[in-house]
Amino acid sequence: MGGRSVTHPPSVDALARDLATRHELPHAVLVDCARRAVSEQPIDAVALADRLADELRRALLADVVNATGVLLHTNLGRAPLSMSTSGRPSALEFDLATGSRGSRQDPIARLLRILTGAESAVVVNNNAAAVMLVLAALANGRGVALSRGESVEIGGGFRVPEVMEQSGARLVDVGTTNRTRLADYSRAIDSPTSDIALVMKVHPSNFAQIGFVESTPVPDLATLPVPVVVDIGSGLLDNDCPWMTARPHGGNMHVPGWLRTEPAARQALADGADLVTFSGDKLLGGPQCGIVAGRADLVAACAAHPLMRALRPGGHTLQLLQEALLHFAARTACEAIPFWRMLTTDTETLARRAEEITRRAGCGRAIATTSLVGAGSAPDTTIDSHGIALDGDRTAALRGHVVPVVARQSEGTTILDLRSVDPADDGIVVDALRSLGAP
């Protein structure tokens, strides 16, 4: 049937069976494509059904090679992870020592206590959920003091004031967009109409302010008579990065300056924050989740809130987070966690890979370039890298490869940045380049 012109529409069943010869999709899905095509464009149903099936196949979740140079690419799932399991059940809420019901949160909380110095911790779906849970549990119906300069918009158009409103807390703006002092928070707390339950500090991780700016550091906020919640967002556990500086098998690394200054959970808590909230799939390099860590009584109030049931993560998320945290504790994160492996690969290795790929592919040229951390982390930071350049915009053709290769285009040149490409995928990059037929 494929390729023959018809003067009357084919049967849905015949068209679906014909589609099966070209598209590896379940029969029920192909029947739906065939039915839509016959209904919408009966005379040219074959071509439309082909297009619908191809569009659906390309829209389904699938593996890609991230050659953009954005290490935590939000549109590509942020931190890359291997999600294979044994297929066996896990002791998610089962205490193997006693044979009775256990807690899905306690083992993770123990690891987070070790890594951040927190008294306790709880894990939810994502960082926005962590913020909402904290506000709902600790400030429902009351005011939350927040600097105007930290009233930010996060991904997807969601804004901190909107998340706060859904929690039942009331936003109390303090200071100005560019300068907020301790006295601004004190005035809000002392106001008889504000009824401040807590002070919140939000790290503006997806933009940077420069010039005539001032913000109040956590140690100063900790002198206020209400709890201080710091949303560090980007998920760095410790500014000292001991998994880089004290690795178990030697080869210790220099910690980049931007990591030294990035807000981190351990340092925020040591500075006096009562709670910190952060993401699991950014600088932590784990699965998408949100973490609340800090004072045990405040964490307990969050864990006891009715929202906790709706926001708690599933077993697979907790298994992946546990694995990542164990690597930080063992100081093997730079070898075992893909994000940290990408981040710490030396430029000489990347340059050699670029030369080898262009040699094998017979096209492109090796170049020096720069990578980004991505996912709203370290917005003004670039990282030296190497990659491959092609003349013209070849990004669409690369995306059409059997395993799509997602590259970037700049001023008429296509760039494949190898810092965000796993070395195991270099062969896929070679095949994709060969398929272009580019000089």
Question: What pLDDT, on a 0 to 100 scale, did the predictor assign at position 7?
Answer: 60
Residue 438 has pLDDT above 60, yes or no: no
Instruction: Write down the residue that tokens 């010869």 correspond to.
Output: 21
Residue 6 has pLDDT above 70, yes or no: no
Q: What fold characterizes domain 97-330?
A: Aspartate Aminotransferase; domain 2 (3.40.640)
At 202-235, the pLDDT tens digits run: 887 555 566 666 788 999 999 999 999 999 988 8
CA dihedral 361, 364, 366, 372 (to 10 degrees): -100
Question: What pLDDT, on a 0 to 100 scale, did the predictor assign at position 211?
Answer: 61
pTM: 0.90
Instruction: Write down the residue that tokens 């494929």 correspond to.
Output: 2
414: its two tokens: 């296509």
Question: What pLDDT, on a 0 to 100 scale, did the predictor assign at position 208?
Answer: 59
Report whether 165 contacts 192 (CB < 8 A): no
At 352-364, the pLDDT tens digits run: 999 999 999 999 9
* Radius of gyration (C-alpha) of the chain in whole angstroms: 26
Percentage above 90 pLDDT, the chain: 72
List Cβ neighbours of 404 (8 Å cut-off, separation of 6 or more).
Answer: 62, 64, 65, 398
Question: What pLDDT, on a 0 to 100 scale, did the predictor assign at position 107?
Answer: 93
Q: Which CATH number fits domain 65-79+341-436: 3.40.50.300, 3.40.190.10, 3.90.1150.180, 3.40.50.720?
A: 3.90.1150.180
Query: How do the domains of the chain map onto residue ranges?
Result: 12-59, 65-79+341-436, 97-330
List Cβ neighbours of 241 (8 Å cut-off, separation of 6 or more).
Answer: 255, 259
At 164-202, the pLDDT tens digits run: 778 889 989 998 878 888 999 999 999 988 899 999 998
Measured CA to CA, the distance from residue 183 to residue 236 in angstroms comes to 29
At 382-429, the pLDDT tens digits run: 999 999 999 999 999 999 999 999 999 999 999 999 999 999 999 999
Question: What pLDDT, on a 0 to 100 scale, did the predictor assign at position 1?
Answer: 53
Question: What pLDDT, on a 0 to 100 scale, did the predictor assign at position 305?
Answer: 96
Strands 143-147 and 196-202: parallel
Instruction: Write down the residue that tokens 């018809």 correspond to.
Output: 6
Tell me, what amino acid is at 396?
A
At 93-134, the pLDDT tens digits run: 888 999 999 899 999 999 999 999 999 999 999 998 999 999
List Cβ neighbours of 368 (8 Å cut-off, separation of 6 or more).
Answer: 347, 351, 384, 385, 386
Assess whether the region 65-79+341-436 and the region 97-330 belong to the same CATH fold: no
Residue 307 has pLDDT above 70, yes or no: yes
Question: What pLDDT, on a 0 to 100 scale, did the predictor assign at position 316?
Answer: 92
Q: How many Cβ atoms from other residues are within 10 Å of residue 130's Cβ?
A: 29
Partners of 67 in the beta sheet?
Answer: none
At 30-75, the pLDDT tens digits run: 999 999 999 998 888 999 999 999 999 989 988 999 999 999 999 9
Report whether 406 contacts 64 (CB < 8 A): yes
Percentage above 70 pLDDT, the chain: 94
Q: How many Cβ atoms from other residues are within 10 Å of residue 96's Cβ?
A: 8
At 237-281, the pLDDT tens digits run: 999 999 998 877 777 888 998 898 889 999 999 999 999 999 999
Question: What pLDDT, on a 0 to 100 scale, did the predictor assign at position 155?
Answer: 59
Segment 69-93 mean pLDDT: 88
